[in-house]
Structure 1
Amino acid sequence: MFNNRLVNIMLVILITLTLIGALTLVLYTQVFQESVAHGEPTIDEILRTSVETEEITTNLLSNHVIRTQFVIQLDSTRAKTEFEKRDFQVNNIIIQELSDMKESDFRGSEGIRSLEKRVKDRVNEIMLDGEVVGVYMNRRIVQ
């Protein structure tokens, strides 16, 4: 390669050390490094991406009145920003869903879970930047 044998040995050693370093870096980042847990978010993350709706009062199908409030958890802060801009659409969706329910639907937890799922699905239909992760009924008074 080169005329000087010492330069050849030095180049082989430098290339070998570079390859060992690159291999070590790849192994460290791919195999030995702990993977970030993508499980349940912390309560601080949930609060950072959650929005509380205004209190909504509307009639039910059974001529009762309900006063309710929801906390809606989103998947990102961008989704939260969009959600806050769409609050009038979200309130409309909630009123429509409540208007189709009877007072008896709120006696057990199954009716509440069903309402939360329907609201989540319908709000996700209008969201462009992210999605709703969870809907929680925060307050409910049926009269």
Structure 2
Amino acid sequence: MKNNKIIIIMLILLLTITLVGAGAFIYIWKFTGEEHEEKEPSIEEIVENSVDIEEMTTNLSTDNFIRISFKIQTDSKEAKEELAQRDFQVKNLIIQELSEKTPDDLKGKDGQAKLENDLKDKINELMQEGKVVQVYIVNSLLQ
């Protein structure tokens, strides 16, 4: 009788240790293992999911004007198709955004990066299928 109690206690302890070990393994594997980061898209995927905004000329808030063109990268083919259909709205946003800028606002790397980010945010407000990942200025002439 005493032997049976000892065997039962040992089995319960062995089962408890096994369950705790399995739980620890699952926790470590699930939460602290290598993160499955999204891989960066290849250049082919970037080009495939991008829309070109042809060169446009518009006035700035001063007597100056700018001639500029963009490439807008989206996160999917569906987003690219939607963006292509919204071409007129995107051009309108660009004109509105540039009409409030001065030449000093657009000079240098910081000024261009701010314009790209502002346009990305404004265009993403329009988007329903996916989103804009990056806006690139591909040509710019400020006069």
When the two structures are superposed, what TM-score results if normalisation uses the length of structure 2?
Answer: 0.73
1:93 aligns with 93
When the two structures are superposed, what TM-score results if normalisation uses the length of structure 1?
Answer: 0.73
C-alpha contact (below 8 Å) 2:106/2:115 kept by paired residues:
no
Question: Mapping of 1:105-116 within 5 angstroms?
Answer: 105-116=105-116
**Cα distance in 1 between the residues matched to 2:36 and 2:121:** 29
Deviation at 1:106, TM superposition (A): 2.2
Give me the CA root mean square deviation: 1.8
Percent of pairs with identical residues: 46
Question: Mapping of 1:52-71 within 5 angstroms?
Answer: 52-71=52-71
CA deviations on 1:74-118 (whole Å, 9 max, x unpaired) are 000000000000000000000111111001122211111101001
**Cα distance in 2 between the residues matched to 1:138 and 1:101:** 18
2:5 aligns with none
Question: Mapping of 1:1-143 within 5 angstroms?
Answer: 38-143=38-143
**Cα distance in 2 between the residues matched to 1:139 and 1:101:** 17
**Cα distance in 2 between the residues matched to 1:137 and 1:98:** 13
Paired letter, 2:117? K
Query: Structure 1 stretches (4+) deviating beyond 3 angstroms?
Result: none
Paired letter, 2:62? S
Deviation at 1:37, TM superposition (A): 5.8
**Cα distance in 2 between the residues matched to 1:97 and 1:138:** 17
Number of residue pairs aligned between Structure 1 and Structure 2 = 112
CA deviations on 1:119-142 (whole Å, 9 max, x unpaired) are 000000010000000000010001
Paired letter, 2:135? V
Stretches of structure 1 that go unaligned for 5 or more consecutive residues are 1-30
Paired letter, 1:139? N
C-alpha contact (below 8 Å) 2:67/2:142 kept by paired residues:
yes
Deviation at 1:63, TM superposition (A): 1.2
Secondary structure at 1:94's aligned position in 2? helix
